[in-house]
Structure 1
Amino acid sequence: MAPRSLGEEHLAKAEKKASSSVGWFASSSSKWEEAGDLFQQAANAFKVEKRWSESGAAFEREAACRQHANEMNDAMNAFHNAAKSYKKSEPEAAVTALHQCIKLLVQAGNFRQAADREKEIAGIYAQDGLDVAKARDSFVRAGDWYKQEDANATANQCYQQAAELSAGLQDYQRSMELYQIVADWSLTSPLTKYSVKEYWLRAALCSMATGDLVTTQRLFDTFAKKDVTFPSTREAKFAHELMQACEEGDVERFMAQVYQYDQVTKLDNWKTEILLMIRKALEQEEGGLT
């Protein structure tokens, strides 16, 4: 029989302590505290051994012990540590551990930390396209919590990521709404005001992708009222020319505008993809979009 590793030794001691009965002169709380310490030692030893699943599971056992001992802050940390270990091999298990951490944080009223953990969940789901829809929803939820805690810049970053993912899901309506939220907050700060025209361009493109050009025109009117300089920007002129090409069902005019804009300002992958979607819809329509 192969000798036990250090992680396995600590785990065996932790299991024995957790399953032991409480003596006459000992308290239940001290039993769970000791068991929690042993599970933590086992989890850290497994990390050294790069046995990530075993490490995550041991941290979760630690968290359960901390809860039995009514050490909720330590339980939160244990669930978070479990997620860090699980990320290496079992992303879904990492998400489950983070949800447990968030539950405790919300109960304690620590919404800023809950937002941090929800943002981690979004990152796990977004990585390698594990579940883009869940990533989008987690970014929105994190953004809402950050906004509630007046961390508006971080909230805006989350909403922006959610908007990009929504367009990738072809949920252009939701993407358009989120870009408007991002732009509205960006208008309030001199440091971010310069980026508003980019967000409004993206919102307009999302509107065109839905085929609702009435809403697109309404967006132009709204944006012009919020910033009178917007209609004179390259972004606004580009979007307006595209809308007119869509109204006329003129694919050649549409592509000519895309080519001209790209010569001066290189189109990123996000814009390229949505423009291709709009073009495809144009080619399938007779007489343009309505």
Structure 2
Amino acid sequence: MSKSPAQALLEKADKKANSLSGWFSSANSKWEEAGDLFQEAANAFKVDKMFKEAGDAFAREAECRENSKEISEAADAWGNAAKAYKMGFPQRTLPAVCDALCSWPHWQSRCRLSAGMITHLTYSGRFRQAAEREKDVAQVHLRENNDLRKACESYERGADWYAQEDAVVMAHACYKDAADLHADLEEYPQAIVGYEKVAEYSLSSNLTDTVSANRNFGKYSGQDPSYPARAKPSSCRTSLKRSAGDSEAFTAAVVEFDEVIKLDNWKTGMLLKIKRTLQAADRGVDPGIM
């Protein structure tokens, strides 16, 4: 049975990668040539719709690029490998795909693909792309493993890299997500730091210009017939503050607040934690052992 063009290119690439450097060529040129051949093989496999094999070949190309110190090209190769694997396994997330495909001895981590991409993107100064990958990794940690700690770390790295590229809106969205996770982990000082970053940006943003806000407030409140029934957020916040230390008063204030500004699931969960702490204090019980 004759070999397909893709398989023939793959074998040629393997032979080049495993060869010794000759008298008239350097090790660096060997890896460059092997990387080019693995890339050709990967694209040929894609033509044949053999996406798992294409992903393997792109990943082999990435290693060759690493060996020849082609940092930007290595990042691209890792990215192409991830795309090919996703095409081959559309119902599976990247970590699950990596679990199934980690047949190489040196692939010790199921996130090797993501880590490889991010490392080389940052080394080549492509911080916005690295930030996008970090955000993807954070979401995978949450969906696949419910690992709040690792997701939080990825969001914070992504936020820092977005900030370096002056992508302030994306940066502060990631800081907000990280702060929410710190709060879920009951790391309130770290959560406060994150929220303060977001608040400081919001206060300095043109979107929160007080003159425009006051002008538009009058305009749109007059157009909204339901406005009078919902015009009490400041009094509700005052009620929440005054109810501190009284679990029953706190519950009543939360109900009142929810009628004005609907609470989402995350805020509801945090308020329940506060309520349990107040109830424990009412009974003289340490909330940490509830």
TM-score between both structures, scaled by the size of structure 1: 0.70
- CA gap of 1:271–1:6, structure 2 versus 1, over 3 A, is farther
User: What is the percent sequence identity of the aligned residues?
Assistant: 43
1:175 pairs with one of 191, 196, 218: 191
1:267 pairs with one of 256, 263, 281: 263
Aligned to 1:254: 250
Aligned length: 246
Alignment of 1:1-290 (within 5 A): 10-23=9-22, 28-44=27-43, 48-51=49-52, 55-84=54-83, 85=85, 87-88=93-94, 89-90=96-97, 95-191=111-207, 234-247=232-245, 249=246, 251-286=247-282
In 1, distance between residues paired with 2:118 and 2:148? 20
Alpha-carbon deviations, 1:186-221, whole Å to 9, x = none? 111132569xxxxxxxxxxxxxxxxxxxxxxxxxxx
Coordinate RMSD, CA, aligned: 3.2
Matched-pair contact (CA < 8 Å) for 1:98–1:121: yes
Aligned to 1:197: none
TM-score between both structures, scaled by the size of structure 2: 0.70
Deviation at 1:155, TM superposition (A): 0.8
Q: Secondary structure at the match of 1:191?
A: helix
Alpha-carbon deviations, 1:244-290, whole Å to 9, x = none? 2222x2x222121122222232211111111111111111112899x
In 2, distance between residues paired with 1:32 and 1:71? 10
Matched-pair contact (CA < 8 Å) for 2:72–2:124: no
Unaligned runs of 5+ in 1: 195-232
- CA gap of 1:117–1:244, structure 2 versus 1, over 3 A, is same
Letter in 1 for 2:33: E
Q: Identify the range of structure 1 (20-29 vs 161-170) with the bigger mean alpha-carbon deviation.
A: 20-29
Deviation at 1:165, TM superposition (A): 2.0
- CA gap of 1:17–1:43, structure 2 versus 1, over 3 A, is same
In 2, distance between residues paired with 1:235 and 1:173? 26
In 2, distance between residues paired with 1:184 and 1:234? 25
- CA gap of 1:94–1:270, structure 2 versus 1, over 3 A, is same
Q: Secondary structure at the match of 2:204?
A: coil
Alpha-carbon deviations, 1:72-106, whole Å to 9, x = none? 22111012223443744336756322323333333
Alpha-carbon deviations, 1:15-34, whole Å to 9, x = none? 22211234555554443233
Letter in 2 for 1:131: D
Unaligned runs of 5+ in 2: 87-92, 100-108, 211-230
In 2, distance between residues paired with 1:252 and 1:280? 11
Letter in 2 for 1:123: Q
